[in-house]
Structures are given as structure tokens and as C-alpha cells.
A = this chain, B = another copy of it.
């Protein structure tokens, strides 16, 4: 491997000059620049990361932190976001270092190795992470950015799904199909995202002049899953049999709903229209394929890197918030009301 010294010798200049040429400093005359550049090319020299990192105190890496349960869960939501960051990072000459942490991070737990080793220039945190972790990270003065989670305290760059708008859009789609008896199946309201989707649901109803009816909402189940989707719709139809459309807060619930309706001889979409949220891979294989709101997971990762790089390069002081829009994907589980 050639070093900067080899280049300097070959071009008959000092190593400082070589460095200045590499950084395109205008203290060097065009003529010398050309000569040095030729030497660089001839030797196919490239500065070493460690040496550069040591003196500049920049690693060229961005850390990505996930809790273990988020990483290993079956639905690959956060790993898609992660892949988004990996994908775009190279355009900005950064590499991503991934690590997971335990969801019950405590005082005894060590911080991620890349923090201790000074091996990242900034950190992206995806999903809910413990407050204590955030506090401890801040001691290291590393820029932080959040994806799909907004810490209760502090003012950070953040990327969130535009859940309110998406909730409105989904509901509006059902309204456009002439539905008025529209249910919302929440699972629970623990997660802010779901509550926001619910707000969007209510806003769309209001805008259309449909009075909101509490009995059309099921929100007292542990969390949104296939199993609880099945349970939710069971109760819904017993208390409101005249429902013609259902907005499930995510696709997992929608799949449970679909199973129930099939088992009870109700046709989707003819008897009941159904819309989900997320756009999981399985949706297109369902019978009928599920209409849903597509969440651009990859894009969320991309946006997070953009925020981080903006910050790193320009040291923008006031942190930006990005709301990424979800997209309505109309398939065959929704149609006009009879």
C-alpha cells in the first residue's frame, strides 16, 4: 500500500502539499496540483481511514441503534429502515455500524462499543429506546437522530410517518366508496402512531359530515396482531352489525379480520370493505389482496441519513423534523358500498 510519503517523493513535494491537493486547497498552484494528482493516480494512492480518523477525530461512520426485540421481530419493519440507511449512506461517504441494545437498558449496561471506541460521528436510533440510553449518549456529545420514535425530552432531528394524514387518506378512500358506517380497529392506543391514525380517521369522518360513533371503535386489546384483529372484529360485529367498511390499524390486524369474515361467510369486499396499514409482503397473496397504506420504510432510513449528514456537514443548529407520507395502495379488499 502506498502512503502519502510515496506520493510526495514521486511528485517532489512535501507530504503537506499532497494532503492539501487531496483536499483541493487553493493554496497550491494548478500546475503543482496536476503533478501531484498524477502521482496519486499512478500509485493509485488512497488515504487510510485510521490515520485520517485519528487526526481529524472523525470516523466516517454513523451508528444505528435498535432494541433487540425490534431487530428480531418477525415483521421486518426496522430492519427495512436499517437497510435504507445502508443503501443511501454510501452516497454520502459514510458507513453504518449497527448494534442492538437490550430494551431494559440499565446503569450497569455498557454503551455500544462504537461509542466507547469513538468510532461513530453520529447516531441514529430507531423505534422506542430507553430514556436512560439517550441521556448516557448525550454525555458523549454525539449528534442523535430518531426514526419512528420521538423522545419525550430534548429537541432532536426526527423522521416519523405522517400517520394523521395517512389515517385520513385511508378513511377518505372508504368514504369515496360511499361507505358511511366505517369502523376503526385500533388494538390499543399505547403506541402514539396508532392514536394518530385514529385522529386521521376522525378528521376524515368530520370533513365528510359523518358523525363519529364510539361503538365503531375497538381499542381495548393488548396490541395489534392477527389474533387480536380476529377478536376485535368479533366484538365489533356483535355490537354494530350494520358496518360496511373496516379500517384496521395495521395489516396484521386486517389479516385476522379477513380470516374471521371468511369463516363467517361474509364476502370481502362485497359485504364489507377492508383496509389495512403497512403494506406487508403477504398482502398481495391474500384472498382478496389487501388494500392498504404503504409505509415507505426504506425511505425513512434514507431520510434519517439525510438529516444526520446535513447536521454533520453544516452543523445546522435547529433540528429538522421529517414526516414521510404513506401511500394508498388500492387492491381488491375495498369497493363501493352497495
Task: Indicate with 1 or 0, residue by residue over A245-259, a CB within 8 angstroms of chain B CB atoms.
Answer: 000000000010000
Question: Complex: how many Å from CA A280 to CA B46?
Answer: 42
Residues from chain B with a CB closer than 8 A to the CB of A90 are 99-100, 113
Q: In angstroms, how far is the closest chain B Cβ from the Cβ of A181?
A: 28
| A119 touching B282, Cβ below 8 Å | no
Q: Which of B54, B71, B76, B255 contacts A50 (CB 8 A)?
A: B54
Q: In angstroms, how far is the closest chain B Cβ from the Cβ of A42?
A: 15
Q: In angstroms, how far is the closest chain B Cβ from the Cβ of A170?
A: 21
How many copies of this chain does the complex contain?
2
Task: Indicate with 1 or 0, residue by residue over A67-97, a CB within 8 angstroms of chain B CB atoms.
Answer: 0000100001001000100110010010111
How many of chain A's residues have a CB under 8 angstroms from any CB in B?
41
Most buried by B among A48, A95, A280, A281: A95
Q: In angstroms, how far is the closest chain B Cβ from the Cβ of A44?
A: 8
Q: Which of B48, B53, B61, B255 contacts A285 (CB 8 A)?
A: B255
Question: Complex: how many Å from CA A213 to CA B97?
Answer: 52
Q: In angstroms, how far is the closest chain B Cβ from the Cβ of A26?
A: 25
Q: Which of B60, B79, B287 contacts A287 (CB 8 A)?
A: B287
Q: Which of B46, B96, B118 contacts A48 (CB 8 A)?
A: B118
Residues from chain B with a CB closer than 8 A to the CB of A60 are 119
Q: In angstroms, how far is the closest chain B Cβ from the Cβ of A99?
A: 6
Interface residues of A in 82-128 (CB under 8 A from B): 83, 86-87, 90, 93, 95-100, 113-114, 116-119
Known interface pairs A86-B98, A98-B96; A117-B46 also in contact (CB < 8 Å): yes
Closest chain B residue to A47, Cβ basis:
B117
| A59 touching B49, Cβ below 8 Å | yes
Interface residues of A in 37-59 (CB under 8 A from B): 46-54, 59
Closest chain B residue to A141, Cβ basis:
B1
Q: In angstroms, how far is the closest chain B Cβ from the Cβ of A322?
A: 23
Residues from chain B with a CB closer than 8 A to the CB of A61 are 95
A286 located at the interface, meaning its Cβ lies under 8 Å from any Cβ of chain B in the complex: yes
Question: Complex: how many Å from CA A286 to CA B87?
Answer: 31
| B71 touching A79, Cβ below 8 Å | no
Residues from chain B with a CB closer than 8 A to the CB of A87 are 71, 100
Q: In angstroms, how far is the closest chain B Cβ from the Cβ of A122?
A: 15
| A49 touching B86, Cβ below 8 Å | no
Task: Indicate with 1 or 0, residue by residue over A139-170, a CB within 8 angstroms of chain B CB atoms.
Answer: 00000000000000000000000000000000
- Residue contacts A-B, CB under 8 angstroms, 28 given: A48-B54, A48-B118, A49-B50, A49-B53, A49-B59, A49-B114, A49-B117, A49-B118, A49-B119, A50-B50, A50-B51, A50-B54, A50-B118, A50-B119, A52-B117, A61-B95, A79-B83, A87-B100, A90-B99, A90-B100, A95-B114, A95-B119, A255-B285, A280-B281, A281-B281, A282-B285, A285-B285, A285-B286
Given contacts A280-B281, A282-B282, 13 further A-B contacts (CB under 8 A): A47-B117, A49-B53, A49-B59, A49-B117, A50-B51, A50-B53, A50-B59, A95-B97, A95-B114, A281-B281, A281-B282, A282-B285, A287-B287
